[in-house]
Amino acid sequence: MREEELIVYKELEDGQILKDMVWLMEHYRSGDGRAKPLFYECMHGLLERAATNGFHGNLWHCYLADLLVNNENSYSLACEIRGEVEGSINQLALHDIAIFKEFFAYDYTEMMEVLKAPEFGHILAYERAQQVSRVYSTRIRDRICSLAVQLAKAADAQEMKAALTEFYQEYGVGKLGLHKAFRVVHEEEGAKIVPIRNISHAQLDDLIGYEIPKKKLVENTEAFVSGRKANNCLLFGDAGTGKSTSIKAIANEYYGRGLRIIELYKHQFHDLNDVVAQVKNRNYRFIIYMDDLSFEEFETEYKYLKAVIEGGLEKKPDNVLIYATSNRRHLIRENFSDKEGRRDQMHSSDTVQEKLSLVYRFGVTIFFCGPDKKQYQEIVKGLAARYGVAMEEETLLAEAGKWELSHGGLSGRTAQQFIDYLRGQDAYYNIRK
């Protein structure tokens, strides 16, 4: 086999199973005592990947397809979102895909007989016992499984290349292409962008009311995703009004158009430049999301954030914006002494301007106001209708009123918690049956 002749798809993450299987293809007849144990070790590896990723069918083919869709190379990165590209890279990629076609087409019948390992037949026709994937969404997982079938059935390398290129255009490549949201983990070698596997499936319609704030958020995000000029965005206002839910909904709404969300906390601001450097040349649009952003007077991280957002020597890339949520309109705590002019500070107005300068870095500010009693009741009724809670309206609103008095006051979050409480009661399930 020609695994060492790969050019474009050379650096394969998790490629050890491929190397071991290639060694087996070349040595299983030699009588080498290492062959059979290695064959079973490879079976174990393929089975573990199937359990982690939720794969089914021919696990060898699924493994190969998974390697191809996750390999970030000069060809796959050029094709993500944009599709087919021109130039010599096409011929080099075709050379590698022809090698992968040999892997897909390999017949294991004789190897199974020589090594007396009929169990491999279950690996080639695997029926999964669980539907859950700890790596991919159901949609991506099923698409990789179907891609594996498609690649195996391809008449030639050119047809395989076309199918793979279509996947890159539709879903992207690697972790940044196949996932919606990410967190940042600081390691010895620097910041690492790690996928968030289980993101909320919130949609903007789930947030009842707030039509004007949602419209402003959608307009700014639509401009950004469409390649037009857009602004950093601050969502501020009362607690429990749907600021964070709106960001999650944006991630779900625009994922198919190349939007990705990276969550960053204020203690990680020193990693911000590193994160931006890792994503600035990708064909996606990235929102760096900072939830519940605020600073006490003694916290100075905001000065670093100001420089990164706008004001440093290096221009912020066009494919990166910063979205933040906060309960404060002014992100840094202010004191009356800042404005009264203390004797020990000659230029007190400078202190005020310094503290306000961070919020000015956000070109769009969107206010989420807590609901009044009538709006709260409308939210409760809307949620009850959405989830099929069968209760007389008068009783429903009376109970919702009692709930908010002891659970944080009038807010969309309180309304959702109340409806979740009702849905968890035995009476609710008896009604639903």
HEC string for the chain: CCHHHCCCCCCCCCCHHHHHHHHHHHHCCCCCCCHHHHHHHHHHHHHHHHHHHCCCECHHHHHHHHHHHHCCCHHHHHHCCCCCCCCCHHHHHHHHHHHHHHHHHCCCHHHHHHCCCCCHHHHCCECCCCCCCCCCCHHHHHHHHHHHHHHHHCCCHHHHHHHHHHHHHHHCCHHHHHCCEEEEEEECCEEEEEECCCCCCCCHHHCCCCHHHHHHHHHHHHHHHCCCCCCCEEEEECCCCCHHHHHHHHHHHHHHHCEEEEECCHHHHHHHHHHHHHHCCCCCEEEEEECCCCECCCCCHHHHHHHHHCCCCCCCCCCEEEEEEECCCCCECCCHHHHHCCCCCCCHHHHHHHHHCCHHHCCEEEEECCCCHHHHHHHHHHHHHHHCCCCCHHHHHHHHHHHHHHCCCCCHHHHHHHHHHHHCCHHHHHHHC
Question: Are residues 296 and 385 located together in one domain of the fold?
Answer: no
| Tally of CB atoms within 10 A around 148 | 25
In this prediction, residue 429 carries a pLDDT of 45
Confidence of residue 354 (pLDDT cuts 50, 70, 90): low
Give whichever of 12-16, 111-115, 177-181 has the largest mean pLDDT: 111-115
**For residue 289, what are the β-bridge partners?**
263, 323
For range 280-307, the mean pLDDT: 76
For range 394-414, the mean pLDDT: 88
Asked if the model's pLDDT at residue 62 lies above 50, the reply is yes
Asked if the model's pLDDT at residue 6 lies above 80, the reply is yes
Rounding to the nearest 10 degrees, give the CA dihedral for residues 334, 340, 345, 347.
Answer: 90
For range 140-164, the mean pLDDT: 96
Asked if the model's pLDDT at residue 217 lies above 80, the reply is yes
Percent of the chain with pLDDT over 70: 85
For range 36-42, the mean pLDDT: 97
Q: Which domain holds residue 408?
A: 373-432
Domain total of the chain? 3
Tell me, what CATH number does 275's domain have? 3.40.50.300
Confidence of residue 433 (pLDDT cuts 50, 70, 90): very low
Question: Are residues 207 and 155 located together in one domain of the fold?
Answer: no
Question: Are residues 152 and 239 located together in one domain of the fold?
Answer: no
Question: Are residues 131 and 12 located together in one domain of the fold?
Answer: yes
Question: Are residues 135 and 21 located together in one domain of the fold?
Answer: yes
> Which of 313, 345, 368 is where one domain is finished?
368
Question: Are residues 16 and 149 located together in one domain of the fold?
Answer: yes
In this prediction, residue 302 carries a pLDDT of 62
Residue 303, both tokens: 């000065």
pLDDT in tens, 93-121: 999 999 999 999 999 999 999 999 999 99
Question: Are residues 173 and 200 located together in one domain of the fold?
Answer: no
Asked if the model's pLDDT at residue 338 lies above 60, the reply is no
For range 364-392, the mean pLDDT: 88
In this prediction, residue 330 carries a pLDDT of 60
Work out the mean pLDDT of the chain and round it to a whole number: 86
Asked if the model's pLDDT at residue 85 lies above 70, the reply is yes
Question: Are residues 274 and 389 located together in one domain of the fold?
Answer: no
Q: Report the interhelical angle of 301-309 vs 272-279 (nearest 10°).
A: 30
What gap in Å lies between CA 8 and CA 227, rounded to an integer? 29
Count of alpha carbons within 13 Å of 188, Cβ hemisphere only? 0
In this prediction, residue 164 carries a pLDDT of 96
Lowest mean pLDDT among 109-113, 329-333, 396-400: 329-333
Confidence of residue 331 (pLDDT cuts 50, 70, 90): low
> Which of 348, 368, 388 is where one domain is finished?
368
Confidence of residue 329 (pLDDT cuts 50, 70, 90): low
For range 141-157, the mean pLDDT: 96
- Asked if 295 and 332 touch (Cβ cutoff 8 Å), the reply is yes
Question: Are residues 341 and 329 located together in one domain of the fold?
Answer: yes
What gap in Å lies between CA 236 and CA 366, rounded to an integer? 6
CA angle (259 as vertex; 253, 262 as ends), nearest 5: 110
Question: Which tops the pLDDT comparison, 338 or 287?
Answer: 287
Confidence of residue 340 (pLDDT cuts 50, 70, 90): low
Question: Which tops the pLDDT comparison, 138 or 125?
Answer: 125
Question: Are residues 287 and 421 located together in one domain of the fold?
Answer: no
In this prediction, residue 336 carries a pLDDT of 45
Question: Are residues 356 and 418 located together in one domain of the fold?
Answer: no
Asked if the model's pLDDT at residue 129 lies above 90, the reply is no
In this prediction, residue 120 carries a pLDDT of 97
Question: Are residues 100 and 49 located together in one domain of the fold?
Answer: yes
> Which of 120, 153, 177 is where one domain is finished?
177
